[in-house]
Structure 1
Amino acid sequence: MNRLFLIFFVILAFTILIAAHWFLFKTVTRFFGLQNPNLILKLKIVFGILSVIFVLASLTIMFLNNFLSRGLYIFASSWLGFAYFFLLASFLIWIIFGITKIFSIQLNFPYIAGLIFGLAFLAGVYGIVNANNLRVKIIDVTLPNLPIYWQDKTAVWISDMHLGQVWNFQTAQRLAQKIQALNPDIVFIGGDLYDGVKADLDKLAKPFAKINAVKGIYFITGNHEEFGDKTPYIEAVKNTGIKVLNNELVNVDGLQIIGVDDRDSNNRDTFQKILDGLNINKQQPSILLKHTPFYIDVAQNAGVSLQLSGHTHEGQLFLFKYITQAVYKGFDFGLKKAGSPRLRVGEAGNLIVYTSSGALTWGPPMRVDTQPEIVVVKFE
């Protein structure tokens, strides 16, 4: 990651989080009627610490991997999720307050605020539970000219595991066992296997090498493998025997499997050159493994049959899905068909796109209004 960009990002994160916690502090003191100077001072200190703890914990785990760093980051990332819901609760409380002023309505605001903050807390608890409730999503896909061998066969697509200090080796074992229980013919690991923090990379990848898939296991990078030097992540995966596809095409019994680097494929011209150079056979079915669902039209024009993506987490938390829908032009989640040339969702076209909501989480270990998933692709 560019050092200048990192500094800018840290300053921006500090600014947003400090402003958000100031707003929370003002809401709590105003609507709970707190006036005791000693209590208010203690709250200022607590909210001040909480406003910076996530950024500090995030920087810490870039360099340290021990019990204290993990504990600090798990607490900080969890608090970030709760703080988000408390922030939404605060906005709602102020809106209700404004309405009561306009219409001269008398309400017991300590009670109202307590109720709304209580619901926000429950939303956070639900998010933690839901993030651990991994579902299996089955999609049926019809590919043109599919060889007889692949008919009625299955592939597993799993992305966005973010293994590191929140989701650890035990999590990796659980995911690998879940995949093996699906008995796939081929497995695709779609980037962000790692969270990009200090971790035992080889150990985290080993459980996936034990998956018995007849036609192999393939890996592509995500943005979290490319915050800095991606080499350690790629080498850790290669050491397990998993095949890394770095802007490559392999033909597996008549099915073309294409894997592209995340950073390279997020530049339109570079992505175009990569696909052009791979000489994709448009008379044979092909699957493009691409972490981020950008430039769908480039894949469509290259003759790709099916694109599998991730990255978006479908927003991960309540309301964020509307941002991902706008950024990725409707290709942020689910099974879609890309039309040419305007690529309207649902328009007839050859390219089928599936974007997964991902298996786990980044930042807050929560999911609200979205489900974590492993995807089973059934070829017809």
Structure 2
Amino acid sequence: MSQRRLLHRYYFFGLDGLVHAYVGLRLVPDLDAFPGLGAALAIVLVLSAILIPTSMLARRRSAGPGLRAAMWLGLLCMGLFSSLLVLTLLRDVVLAAASALALFLPAWQPGGLAGASAEFVLAAACFMSVAGFVGARRVARVTTVDIPVAGLPPALEGFTIAQISDIHVGPTIRESYVRRIVETVNGLRADMVAITGDLVDGSVPDLAQHVRPLGGLSSRHGTFFVTGNHEYYAGAHAWVEALRGLGMRVLLNEHAVVRHAGHAIVIAGITDFSAHQFDPAHRSDPQRAIAGAPADAAVKVVLAHQPRSAALTAPAGFDLQLSGHTHGGQFLPWNFLVPLQQPYVQGLHREQRMWVYINRGTGYWGPPMRFGVPSEITLLRLVRDDKVTRPHSKEHP
């Protein structure tokens, strides 16, 4: 292991310990109303401080049952601790404001606020973790979205694309989870399927078995795939070959032409926005992806993992970009941080003359937790723009 990598690991463990200590010192002393509650939280925080870095460091190793169990526990702790940390920070802001107010209003004293707020933080964090776990582990719901296309031939009215994204097959998302996604997608009977990256969180030898059900995806024109940033963390070249072996059309800055009802539809795909950092030959290139496309194509669709690729794909002449990457924020506090990196977080948006749709993610990354941001399988329908006054989407239970 390089000295630099070892140093980063020390920093990670140190920061992990510090933030856990902060939460413990701020909450445990004020949980005296219920005997044993503070001690129980202290034990949970110590275990969390150990299990979270353990689960992160073990993610890229072949895991037996014991290590997988530790990874599960660590990722569950990550979800719970994330909520505890955010709520503890907010609690400290409230307590500071209450103390400042007491200076100006001596008659008003916030007695009991420290204990009540500590209990609230613990209860709210537990509720968010349980609700988030249920939200993450259920099969993604189908969201139907109409995409108005100028000059769409009547024969292409209702052409459907089933989009899945950011499944993150890995420590907690395995074969059975993937199989349920496939069953739901196949039930849509879409004209084609698009997978917009971040399919895996691990190597081909570790996860090939759990990705294999995706070979059963069924549609009229087949399944198209583009790489996300996590494919490059996990060995993109090996995954490209493995997915081609499952019958997917992997688009690396290239396009395919689908003939439907006598009309041409261009399906292009670009490599991830950051791919060149891992392989200069994989630099994302929308112009290359559309080069040589038929001039008479009725619709031009591009699959691009990150929404911020839209600034480059729109000038290339595409009508629609399908993206993922953001997970819609997934849970607090990330839903507030994603907009700092990406121009769009979820749903349908306009970039110049091109529509951009961002799938919230069909799985999840890291902790099995989705709070307030449900996972999604998208069914996109092409419609003539003169039939739609305002694009809309509908989520099905």
SS in 1 for 2:149: coil
TM-superposition CA deviations, 1:287-308 (whole Å, max 9, x none): 1101111232211111011000
Match of 1:119 among 102, 120, 124: 124
Q: Which residue of 2 aligns with 1:262?
A: 272
Residue identity in the other structure for 2:288:
L
CA shift, 1:183, in A, is 0.9
CA shift, 1:312, in A, is 0.6
Q: Which residue of 2 aligns with 1:316?
A: 330
Over the aligned positions, Cα root-mean-square deviation in angstroms equals: 2.9
CA shift, 1:148, in A, is 5.0
Are positions 1:275 and 2:276 aligned together? no
Match of 1:182 among 188, 200, 225: 188
Does the 8 Å contact 2:51/2:73 carry over to 1? no
Are positions 1:244 and 2:236 aligned together? no
CA shift, 1:204, in A, is 2.2
Match of 1:364 among 349, 364, 367: 367
Length, aligned pairs only: 364
Residue identity in the other structure for 1:106:
G
Are positions 1:326 and 2:340 aligned together? yes
Does the 8 Å contact 1:157/1:189 carry over to 2? yes
> Alignment identity in percent?
24
Q: Which residue of 2 aligns with 1:76?
A: 74
Q: Which residue of 1 aligns with 2:394?
A: none
Q: Which residue of 1 aligns with 2:232?
A: 226
CA shift, 1:196, in A, is 2.6
Does the 8 Å contact 1:205/1:236 carry over to 2? no
Q: Which residue of 1 aligns with 2:61?
A: 63
Q: Mean alpha-carbon deviation: is it higher for 366-375 or for 48-57?
A: 48-57
Q: Mean alpha-carbon deviation: is it higher for 242-251 or for 58-67?
A: 58-67
SS in 1 for 2:307: coil
TM score, norm. by length of structure 1: 0.86
Change (3 A) 1:228 1:132: closer
Question: 1:1-380 alignment to 2 at 5 Å?
Answer: 10-33=9-32, 47-102=45-100, 103=102, 104-107=109-112, 109-133=114-138, 134-196=140-202, 200-253=206-259, 254-263=264-273, 270-272=283-285, 274-275=287-288, 278-281=291-294, 283-284=296-297, 285-329=299-343, 331-339=344-352, 350-380=353-383
Unaligned 5+ runs, structure 2: 103-108, 384-397
Change (3 A) 1:251 1:57: same
* Inter-partner Cα distance in structure 1 for 2:235 and 2:120: 47
* Inter-partner Cα distance in structure 2 for 1:300 and 1:277: 11
* Inter-partner Cα distance in structure 2 for 1:123 and 1:259: 37
* Inter-partner Cα distance in structure 1 for 2:2 and 2:247: 33
Q: Mean alpha-carbon deviation: is it higher for 13-22 or for 305-314?
A: 13-22
Q: Mean alpha-carbon deviation: is it higher for 212-221 or for 268-277?
A: 268-277
Unaligned 5+ runs, structure 1: 340-349
SS in 2 for 1:118: helix
TM score, norm. by length of structure 2: 0.83
Does the 8 Å contact 1:276/1:302 carry over to 2? no
Change (3 A) 1:97 1:202: closer
CA shift, 1:278, in A, is 2.4
Residue identity in the other structure for 1:271:
S
CA shift, 1:163, in A, is 0.8
